[in-house]
Amino acid sequence: MKSQYREIAKQTLWTDNPVIRQILGICSALAVTNLVSNTLVMGIGVSLVTAFSSLTVSALRKIMPNRVRMMVQTLIIAFYVILVDIILRAFFPDMSRALGPYVGLIITNCIIMGRCEAFAQTNKPLISFYDGFMSGLGYTLVLATIAIVRELMGFGTILGIQILGEWWTPWTVMVMAPSAFFVLAIIIWVANSITDKKLHAAGKPVNKGVQASGN
Amino acid sequence: MKDKTWFSPVFMLICTAIFTGILSGVFVYSRPLIQANARLNEITAQLHALDITIPADVSPADLESSYEQNIDEVNINGLTLYQYKTVDGKINYAIPFEGAGLWGEITGIIALDQELKTVLGMDFISQNETPGLGGRIEEDWFKEQFRSISLYEDGEPIRYAAPGSEGQIDAITGATATSSAVLDIMNAAIQDAKSKVGGGNS
């Protein structure tokens, strides 16, 4: 049982990371990564919505008819996203103002439905919740790395704190969405080189190319 | 039962009813809070535009009541605006503005003096511009540029300073679309106020 939890953590954070191995959640990887603070809040939002959606889908899995499961999953995800939005607007108005349209964007994240389909549909509620949360964490980890590079080069700051001095000329391209593609591609390249080398050393077949893709 | 044809729509209906029911409940419960937050946001924007300092430790209820005492909502020729009487008996106007930004609607308040010749300040109520680029209109350095600036008599009342032309304020580098949208919206609101309120009819 314990080893299963450890295995999930290893997969979601590294070997089967939703962003760098499954290429999911790319849409928001571009949209929110120009500031580290936005990325962290988005990461918390996605982690919580994924965790609770997986929990609910898993709890309903035995009575849910197969042919309407996608509709029910969409309903459940929409339910949690709207819930997060209402709670933020009622109790954390400043954060809600800073996030603006991002909260609504959580719904477009493929990772959430991906985990509901791939994991929660066939596993028990508690471990589904854990799997969803860890997937969100794996997503946050990669996005935070992109955001650190982009904020540092685009503004010379990290979390709004000045890191680079006056001598640094901010790169405007780093503030704009296309730069996330460059940074993400480099991260995927580095990560895949490391894992491929390990697989090669272990005598296992090296996975060329990407299995799944989505936004 | 799970595989019966009739069960799928019934299951879907029940699920939808339960989930939307919970959401409606949460929404109804939190609506007063959300409205109070929106109201507080608007009051703060108006006071900030009128250059009235808000004490840091004031409670929302006190702020609301002192706002009610000092600021009047009036309607002049179809334009809703807010009047504030200064200590020396002058009337300052806080005029709401709204218009299209780059991504979505931008709303806010611009405050003018009694003669409609000087901008006292401005503040935004809502905007959806690109964070880090157009979204920087929310930063203090941008908003504070509008503190006590004289309006141009002819043409656009507020202009950006650019090489070869004079103006009162600096635009945001890398966010040209948002910068010009913001100025167009405010200039339209000022022109509208000038035509409806008039220069010296008080």
Helix axes B60-70, B7-49, angle to 10 degrees: 60
ipTM of the complex: 0.77
Which of B3, B26, B40 is facing A83, going by the closest CB pair?
B26
Residue B79 is which amino acid? L
What is the rounded CA–CA span in Å between residue B80 and residue B78?
6
For B125, name the nearest residue in chain A, comparing CA atoms only. A97
Which of A75, A82, A154 is facing B15, going by the closest CB pair?
A75
Substitution target from A64, A77, A85 for chain B, most B beta carbons within 10 A: A64
Q: Do A83 and B23 touch (CB under 8 A)?
A: yes
Which of A34, A65, A93 is facing B11, going by the closest CB pair?
A65
What is the rounded CA–CA span in Å between residue A94 and residue A83?
17
pLDDT, residue A58, reads 95
pLDDT, residue A34, reads 82
The residue assigned the tokens 């503030």 is A175
Instruction: Grade residue A3 by pLDDT with cuts at 50, 70 and 90.
Output: confident
> Exposed/middle/buried for B32, CB within 10 Å: 0-12, 13-18, 19+?
exposed
Q: Per-residue pLDDT for B58 more than 90?
A: no
pLDDT by residue (tens digit) across A126-162? 999 999 999 999 999 999 999 999 999 988 889 888 8
- How many alpha carbons fall within 13 Å on the CB side of residue B146? 29
φ and ψ at residue B109, rounded to 5 degrees: -130, 135
Residue B184 is which amino acid? D
Q: Are B95 and B193 in contact (CB under 8 A)?
A: yes
Question: What is the DSSP annotation of B134-184?
Answer: GGGGGSHHHHGGGTTEEPPSSS-SS-B-BTTB--SB---TT-HHHHHHHHH
pTM of the shown model = 0.78
Q: Are A86 and B25 in contact (CB under 8 A)?
A: no
CB pairs under 8 A between A and B: 71
The residue assigned the tokens 């103002």 is A97
| Residue length of chain A | 215
CA distance B166 to chain A (A): 26
Q: What are the structural domain ranges in chain B?
A: 48-197
* B28 touching A (Cβ < 8 Å): no
* A89 touching B (Cβ < 8 Å): yes
Tokens representing B62? 């006190």
Tokens representing A102? 């991002």
Tokens representing B197? 């309120």
Residue A207 is which amino acid? N
Contact residues on chain A for B2, CB-CB shorter than 8 A: 63-66
Q: Do B8 and A68 touch (CB under 8 A)?
A: yes
* B37 touching A (Cβ < 8 Å): yes
Instruction: Grade residue B155 by pLDDT with cuts at 50, 70 and 90.
Output: confident
What is the rounded CA–CA span in Å between residue A171 and residue A149?
11
Q: Per-residue pLDDT for A22 more than 70?
A: yes
Tokens representing A177? 């969405």
Share of chain B above pLDDT 90, in %: 36
Q: Per-residue pLDDT for A212 more than 60?
A: no
User: Three-state SS for B93?
Assistant: strand
Share of chain A above pLDDT 90, in %: 40
The residue assigned the tokens 């969100």 is A136
Q: Per-residue pLDDT for A207 more than 60?
A: no
- How many alpha carbons fall within 13 Å on the CB side of residue B163? 0
